[in-house]
Structure 1
């Protein structure tokens, strides 16, 4: 289930990547700096990631990876929704930064969880499958995002992305509940 979650997170995140420049053009139609502003919006997420990833890892180590992953999935959905409704480039960059803070823990914590849950003898193989799941999301996400933007709007893709984060949260919760129930029945 965690590998499916990895794929869904990447589909959600990458559904927006090819659309960022177009969205910036919608936000600031009368500028010659689309490339620079798009770069700032894209980098703001990376900067948020950079400053919080280690902290999310520490929180996962102390409070449990599943719990923090759940918070991050909900936080990612909450952080992305306002981006669909704004008309300010400054606010967009700020929201991208906040989104980066929240999403920054998802990849390391899912990797840590998979490593913890996998037998040592197959950890490399399982982590390889997880990487493949990530890259599958990287391939599928932009295609879905582009199609949704062409059918509806770029703003709709932000809503779709939030939905994907919430769907992933629900699937993980159901999976963990099922795992806990199975463990109780075995004892």
Structure 2
């Protein structure tokens, strides 16, 4: 049964937007709390060989996004039939339960299976995007979706700082239980604060995936934006599984490794929070496509010197600058998507985009783990820079023609 509101009063989309942003932020924090010490937890579960540790860290990190990519279109279609709020509740509560079980894992295979289950039960962010996209006035949808997307991104980048501090203070396993509490808070906020008036769509009336794309004015552009999302996540994820080990290589076996790694992983989130609103307003004036391409080029210019740093401080400064540029990337893609789709198919379009994002989240860490295992940590940054440069050229060629925008 769809979650509906009995009151006939109009939906307060501004309130829903704020609560959805908080939910996306908390979900992003919860997912990334474990990132600074994920290789250390894998090591604690019995994987001690350095090369195996690199590969297992990449696999464990990636499998969540692999299963999320598979499940996301299913959840998107179900949301179009049953409602978006109930999908948000399912996702938050399901992930909270899985996090508790992760903290109780006793083998690497149990942990791997639970990371896969976490991916299957995900989907909070794309369903939040679909909920807001169908409620916000069309002329403000670009700003709303751009602002909403900063919630998950900022949470994912700030979470490692909190996770590293908690791991150093309480140990590794308690962080999973704290993460579960954060997700349960997200569940409660969604249950009591988000309102949705939803008219169920019969399964027989649902458009087939092929018809969804044929209903778009510029399907090739939308597909190109999916690919851009994938490449952005490849570039972001390639560094994630090796960052803690790279910091240890730079600083030595320091006592507060998890905290230092978490801080370096998190500084891009601080930069993104500062830069994203300003770059979003600039994108409204000059076009999000120009912001997207310009920030991709800036990212290339920052990734290359990361391969040459000699201290964690140098790495942290460059990652702060990278975060200022990267904070505009996914919001720009989200804005371009909402410019080019209708509300009737927004749910599935955002779920498809989430699948591409998850595929990038799978490919990136695996690529980073393989490259680091064969050519060392520094090579990861060079390969990532080359991929981002390709994305910049590809996006520029795709978006050269004027992008359709909603009326002001």
TM-score normalised by structure 2 residue count:
0.43
Deviation digits for residues 119-172 of structure 1 (CA, Å, limit 9, x no counterpart): 333222212211111111111111111001111111111111111111111111
Residue 7 in structure 1 maps to residue 249 in structure 2: no
Identify the residue that residue 272 of structure 2 maps to in structure 1.
Answer: 49
Structure 2: gaps (5+ residues): 1-223, 403-408
Shift of 1:30: 4.4
Does 2:293 match 1:70? yes
Counterpart secondary structure, 2:399: helix
Aligned to 1:85: 308
Separation in 1, partners of 2:307, 2:371: 13
Matched residue SS, 2:320: helix
Specify the alignment match of 2:242 in structure 1.
19
The equivalent of 1:184 in structure 2 is none
Structure 1 residue runs of 4+, over 4 Å off? none
More helix by share: 1
Alignment partner of 1:107 out of 312, 316, 330: 330
Number of residue pairs the alignment of both structures matches: 180
Q: Is the 8 A contact 1:115 1:127 kept in 2?
A: no
Counterpart position of 2:393: 170
Task: Give TM-score scaled by structure 1 length.
Answer: 0.91
Q: Indicate yes or no: 2:376 matched with 1:153.
A: yes
In the TM superposition, what is the alpha-carbon distance from 1:56 to its structure 2 partner?
1.6
Is contact 1:14–1:141 with CA below 8 Å preserved after alignment?
Answer: yes
| 1:6-47 deviations in Å (ceiling 9; x for gaps) | 001101110100110010011101422211110110111111
Deviation at 1:117, TM superposition (A): 1.6
Per the TM alignment, residue 176 of structure 1 is displaced from its structure 2 partner at its CA by 2.4
1:51 deviates by 1.2
Q: CA RMSD in A?
A: 1.5
